[in-house]
Amino acid sequence: MCTMIVEKVKVDGSGKGVSGWFALQQANVSYDHPFDAPLEHALNIDFVNESRGPSARVAVELSERAARELVRTILSVLDKAEAGGHLA
């Protein structure tokens, strides 16, 4: 059954959903049942814009290992960008 483990974070940027690109407002991060990934529970990220309704969603469902590796990779890339003087 559902863990109900979820956190929301405001984000800036764009996401590409089924109707094309849209402005993102928020990311909902949960560890709960995925809809598609062949796992009982997954690290799910829904990038959404609630003002556009439930369909404004870009979803990923990751294994725990993949999620942790993604976090490390994002931070690594940002560190390199910072070291290169690319962050304003």
Partner 1 sequence: MIYQTDMYEGVLAETITMTGANGDQINAYFARPLGPGPFPAMVLAHHMPGWDEWYREATFRFAHHGYATLSPNLYFRAGHGTPEDVAAKVRADGGLQDDQAVGDLAGAMHYLRALPYVNGKVGVFGTCSGGRHAYLTACRAPGFNAIVDCWGGGVVMGKDQLSANSPVAPIEYTKDLACPVLGLFGEEDGHPTPEQVKQHEAELKKHDKNYEFHMYPEAGHGFFYYHRPMYRQAQAVDGWQKIFAFLEKYLSISA
- Interface positions with partner 1 (CB under 8 A): 1-4, 6, 8, 28, 30, 32-33, 35, 38-40, 44, 46, 48, 50, 53-55, 57, 59
Rounded least distance, CB 78 to partner 1, Å: 25
Rounded least distance, CB 41 to partner 1, Å: 9
Q: What is the rounded CA–CA span in Å between residue 75 and residue 78? A: 5
Among the residues of the chain, which ranges form H helices?
A: 64-83
Rounded least distance, CB 5 to partner 1, Å: 10
Q: Cα-atom radius of gyration of the chain, to the nearest Å? A: 15
CB atoms under 10 Å from CB of 88, counted, come to 3
**Helix, strand, coil tally for the chain in percent (to 5):** 25, 40, 35
